[in-house]
Amino acid sequence: MLAGLGAIGVASAGAGLGTTAYFSDEERFTDNTLTAGNLDLLVDWQQTYDFGDGHQFVSAHPDHDGDGEQSVEIDGEGFSYSDFPDEDDEDSNGANLPVLTCENIPPLSEADFGTDPVTGEEMETLVQLTDVKPGDSGEITFSLHLCDNPGYIWMQARNVTDDGGAATEPELLVDPDNLGDLGDAIQARLWYDEDCDNVYDPAEPVDIMLTLDFSGSMLYNQYGGVVSSDEIQINGTTHNETTKIDLVELGTRQFVDYLQSQNSDVQVGVAYFDGEGSDDTEPRTGILQPLTSDLSVVDGALSDLRQKLANVVSGGAGSTPFDGDGDPDPFSNANSIATGTYIGEGVDDAQGELDANGRSGAEKRNIVLSDGESFNGTGSTQFSSPTDAADDARAASPSPATDVYTISVGSANDGVLQSMAGPAGGSGGDLTFFSDVDDPLNIPTVFGNLAAQTVQEKVIMDDSLGEILSALADGNGIPLDGNRATPYDELADPADDPARDAFRGDGVMHCVALSWELPFDVGNEVQGDALGFDLGFYTEQERHNDGSGPTPA
């Protein structure tokens, strides 16, 4: 029987093979490719030198006309560095070119190192000043653009030499061994030049309104509010998924916490804007938190933004963040929520708060974030143009004149938000006041950078140039932090410290500056001395790396 069953089994298998001509199918997957991503760090700069006649432009990159001042030509139009801040010139904000991107920054092989303004000699390297005198000073602001992928960046020095040079009689009287003393004599500062203006900026009193998009697309999955299935933790609260409003809460609370940790002279308030529901007669916008110097109160107001947003968009007419009647579940049915975004009304509310409770003599700022287009005004409520509202705020109508910063998230209308952005008293469309955030996961980093612009610019090292070069030459160099609002110490903390953030990979400009001065009271011991060094930046991608840097050979 076993043999018979075996024969039947074989016969069945044979029958199956015989039917393949009648039942056949074929699937092909052609032209498959794996393409490695890009990690490209582009660097531009502006260098200045003061040898007694004020700051002179020495060299820049790019510099399309070779005059030492950073400039570039784009589509036939010339753009140049806006010079040092000039109160009588609204176009002079002292910033490196904000129009420089990963697409138009030329490679370093095309750099023009300019000429020494004292000797007139052509410079073949970045720093080649050959007649430095006591009282001279200089500065370089490097602008870093990390393209395509996020990554960690280090600043480095190599081949540092401090040579006694020619032995003159006056020098030998005080330095018989003709040692290299220039590195120790030159005082220097290395810092994050947040506004890229070649000038170290101390802290100033500031009143700030955070004007936040509270529309349904910031929370509900149905409208694109969920950006990741990863958990997110905000001050001890964990959500099972990540939404745009979670990232706003994380970023704004880090913003406030950083200002508090720096004992900043600030007042902060919060405004919000949504659209309208079918029964509304006025826009759902308002003040979430009036201006206050008690930043712990502001931190509390920015907590649980999921619930506060839900209260606004899913409640009845006149809903506010404090009603408690909204459903904060990102996956709930959100068909009946209020729709649209009243960006202009939100700006007007924030400006009214600055007018009512702002401090005399304090700089005024309004930071506006939106992920959508401004409501088109076809409903029952009145519509305030966002560009008109921003123009009025910058022009002090009503007072005070206000810097307007805008953050465009995801599918927001970049053109509108960019046209709103600009300095108090100036025109809109200023790219230095505009942040384009294609990936919402970068929202906290943007708020971190804005926080760093609010306090005094962060100094990495204030010492002799020799000591700074020594630190830059040690190991992998000095690890830079992509988010200055995090509590990271570049000199004391390890490079893979969790508080150190990678730099965004979307070409956003970050500036690091090095200034130097040879004091008037330096003696003859530096005559003829020469200080040589190489400067550079190293980057590695964030993914699959922990920020600790390359393993030493």
Nearest to 481 by CA among 463, 499, 494: 499
DSSP state of 441: G
In a domain, 429, yes or no: yes
Domain match, 47 and 128 both: yes
Phi first, then psi: what are they for 315, rounded to 5°?
-90, -175
Residues 211 and 164 in one domain: no
CB contact at 8 A, 171 and 185: no
Same-domain check for residues 228 and 365: yes
Decide: 487 and 164 in contact? Cβ < 8 Å: no
Sign (positive or negative) of CA dihedral 522, 526, 527, 529: negative
Q: Quick one: 441 and 490 in the same domain? A: no
Domain that holds residue 407: 206-453
Q: How far apart are the first and last CA of the chain?
A: 72
12 part of a folded domain: no
CA distance 341 to 244: 15
Residue 432 lies in a domain: yes
Same domain membership, residue 522 and residue 489:
yes
Task: Give the C-alpha separation, 63 to 65, whole Å.
Answer: 6
Alpha-carbon span 73 to 431, nearest angstrom:
17
**How far, in Å, CA of 132 to CA of 528, rounded?**
9
CB 203 within 8 A of CB 265: yes
Same domain membership, residue 348 and residue 222: yes
Task: Please classify residue 267 by burial: count the beta carbons closer than 10 Å to its beta carbon, then call 0-12 exposed, 13-18 middle and 19+ buried.
Answer: buried
pLDDT of residue 356: 97
What are the pLDDT tens digits along the chain (553 aa)?
233 333 333 333 333 333 344 556 677 766 665 666 677 899 999 999 999 888 889 999 999 999 999 999 988 888 898 877 776 776 677 788 888 888 899 998 899 998 888 889 898 999 888 888 889 999 999 999 998 889 999 999 999 988 766 666 455 555 555 556 788 889 999 999 998 999 998 888 999 999 999 999 999 999 999 999 999 999 889 999 999 999 999 999 999 999 999 889 999 999 999 887 777 777 889 999 999 999 999 999 999 999 999 999 887 777 899 988 889 999 998 877 877 789 999 999 999 999 999 999 999 999 999 998 886 544 555 577 899 999 999 999 989 999 999 999 988 889 999 999 999 998 899 888 999 998 999 999 999 989 988 988 999 999 999 999 999 999 999 999 999 988 899 999 999 999 999 998 888 889 999 999 999 888 766 777 788 899 999 999 998 999 999 875 4
* CA 463 to the chain's CA centroid: 27
pLDDT for residue 20: 41
Q: Is residue 131 part of a domain?
A: yes
Final residue belonging to a domain, choices 405, 422, 453 = 453
Q: Same domain for 106 and 216?
A: no
**Residue 36 within any structural domain of the chain:** no
Do residues 165 and 269 share a domain?
Answer: no
Sign of CA dihedral 296, 298, 302, 303: positive
Q: Are residues 503 and 406 in the same domain?
A: no
Q: How many CA atoms lie within 13 A of 259 on its CB side?
A: 29
pLDDT of residue 22: 52
Residue in the structure block whose two tokens are 């040079």: 165
**Nearest-CA neighbor of 441 among 394, 409, 482?**
409
Structure letter (DSSP) for residue 356: H
Residue appearing with tokens 């490196």: 96
Q: Please give the Cα distance from 216 to 370 (Å, whole number).
A: 11
**Strand duo 187-192 + 459-464: pairing:** antiparallel
For residues 386 and 515, membership in a common domain is answered with no
Q: Are residues 360 and 412 located together in one domain of the fold?
A: yes
- DSSP three-state, residue 257: helix
475 falls within a domain: yes
pLDDT at 392: 96
Where do we find the tokens 């006056």?
A: 170
Asked whether residue 525 is domain-assigned, the answer is yes
The model's pTM is 0.77
Is residue 182 assigned to a domain?
Answer: yes
Q: What is the DSSP string of 70-96?
A: -EEEETTEEEE---S--TT-TT-----
pLDDT value of residue 384 = 77
The verdict on 368 and 473 lying in the same domain is no
d(CA 294, CA 268): 8
CATH of the domain at 381: 3.40.50.410
Question: Shortest CA distance to 210 belongs to which of 322, 320, 350?
Answer: 350
Chosen domain end from 390, 419, 453? 453
Total residues belonging to the chain = 553
Instruction: Of 280, 284, 287, 279, give the one whose Cα is nearest residue 311.
Output: 284
- The Cα–Cα gap between 65 and 165 comes to 35
Helix (H, G, I), strand (E, B) or coil at 56: strand
The residue among 269, 260, 223, 258 whose CA lies nearest residue 244 is: 223
Last residue of a domain, one of 432, 453, 474: 453
Sequence-ordered list of residues with C-beta below 8 angstroms from that of 15, at least 6 positions apart, any chain: none
Q: How many domains does the chain have?
A: 2
* Residue 468, helix vs strand vs coil: helix
